[in-house]
């Protein structure tokens, strides 16, 4: 075969190769790798124990990730807008303690819940007002708020937990009816699913959600385009406080207790779950279902480590390794 004939035969293959490479570049690696890791962990763990693929085990995973998942949705909104909240752990505790103390003194359940959620929302509002001034990074502002709330929570309880959350335990401490449509799932799944769907709708279809993306992408450009940046930040942090209050009610009801260390490390774990799932750490990109991947992966890793008979220290080591991988994947994709 002559050189000319060979070149003519290979010519049609060149556009195919270019098309294949373009398709590979278009693959959302961040949308694939958490799912791939979850599948590998599930398969590997199932070989170690025949108790892994049981309804009871997956109910345990859902119970563990539901409260963290709720607060992760709020953290996702803030991260998209280039903010974050390090006070969520002790704010969750604060809202639950306020509700627990009111219940302990005989106040009606609805009043106690409303006041508890309002207390957490007020903290979010204060965080938003301070963050909107751009005098200090939200990291510093919310870290200071976290330290303040730790002292306040300890002062309110004297370091002792508030037991018996009454109606909250009835609502979130058990399971839903068996059969359609609930299948006997843990009751904490309901608020988690509701918040997940609302967060998705908020980011996708509301003007405030679109402003969050704009501010996170380029705050100065958002300001010049007419977006009220300061007011939007206040709204977003207040929304975060509201979700924190809901998380406090769910978590305190789930374990039937309110204490200053109720949600220890939730601030870091919620940021980690959002980042692992694909929400950018410095704003402008992310979504509710992306962060859901991070929450699910975190829950599956925790569960797998328990089945492996390892201590909780390995959970933190695994989470740290996954965060590093997540950040590296993000940088590589950019």
All structural domains of the chain, each given as residue ranges with its CATH number in brackets, are: 30-333 (1.10.3470)
Over residues 104-130, the pLDDT tens digits come to: 999 999 999 999 999 999 999 999 999
Over residues 154-208, the pLDDT tens digits come to: 999 988 888 889 889 988 988 888 777 777 889 999 999 999 999 999 999 999 9
3-class DSSP state for residue 272? helix
Report residue 186: phi and psi, to 5°. -60, 140
Report residue 177: phi and psi, to 5°. -60, 145
What burial class does residue 55 get, using C-beta atoms within 10 Å of its C-beta: 0-12 exposed, 13-18 middle, 19+ buried? exposed
CB proximity list for 184: less than 8 A, separation 6 or greater: 55, 59, 175, 176, 177, 178
Q: CA-CA-CA-CA torsion for 306, 310, 311, 313, nearest 10 degrees?
A: -100
Task: Categorize the per-residue pLDDT at 276 as very low, low, confident or very high, splitting at 50, 70 and 90.
Answer: confident
Do 132 and 230 contact (CB within 8 A), yes or no? yes
- Enclosing H/E stretch for 163: strand 162-163
Task: Categorize the per-residue pLDDT at 26 as very low, low, confident or very high, splitting at 50, 70 and 90.
Answer: low
| Paired sense of beta strands 257-258 and 162-163, if any | antiparallel
Q: Write down the mean pLDDT value for the chain.
A: 87
Do 173 and 256 contact (CB within 8 A), yes or no? yes
> Across the strands, what pairs with 186?
175
């Amino acid at each position: 075969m002559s050189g000319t004939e060979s070149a003519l035969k290979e010519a049609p293959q060149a556009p195919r190769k270019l098309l294949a490479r373009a398709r590979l570049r278009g693959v959302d690696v961040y949308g694939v790798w958490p799912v791939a890791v979850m599948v590998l962990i599930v398969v590997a763990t199932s070989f170690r124990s025949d108790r892994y693929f049981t309804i009871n085990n997956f109910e345990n995973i859902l119970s563990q990730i539901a409260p963290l998942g709720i607060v992760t949705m709020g953290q996702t909104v803030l991260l998209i807008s280039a903010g974050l909240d390090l006070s969520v752990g002790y704010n969750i505790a604060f809202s639950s303690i306020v509700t627990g103390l009111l219940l302990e003194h005989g106040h009606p359940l609805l009043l106690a819940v409303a006041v508890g959620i309002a207390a957490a929302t007020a903290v979010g509002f204060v965080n938003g007002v301070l963050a909107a001034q751009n005098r200090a990074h939200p990291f510093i502002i919310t870290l200071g708020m976290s330290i303040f709330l730790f002292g306040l929570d300890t002062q309110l309880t004297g370091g002792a937990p508030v037991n018996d959350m009454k109606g909250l335990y009835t609502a979130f401490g058990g399971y839903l009816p068996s059969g359609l449509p609930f299948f006997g799932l843990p009751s904490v799944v309901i608020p988690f699913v509701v918040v997940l769907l609302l967060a998705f709708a908020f980011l996708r279809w509301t003007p405030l959600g679109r402003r969050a993306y704009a501010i996170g992408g380029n705050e100065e450009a958002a300001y010049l385009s007419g977006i009220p940046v300061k007011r939007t930040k206040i709204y977003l942090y207040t929304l975060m406080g509201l979700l924190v209050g809901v998380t406090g009610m769910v978590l305190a009801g789930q374990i039937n207790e309110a204490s200053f260390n109720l949600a220890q490390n939730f601030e870091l774990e919620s940021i980690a779950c959002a980042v692992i799932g694909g929400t950018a750490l410095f704003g402008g990109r992310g979504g509710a279902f992306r962060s859901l991947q991070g929450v699910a992966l975190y829950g599956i890793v925790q569960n797998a480590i328990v089945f492996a008979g390892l201590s909780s220290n390995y959970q933190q080591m695994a989470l740290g390794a996954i965060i590093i991988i997540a950040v590296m994947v993000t940088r590589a994709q950019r």
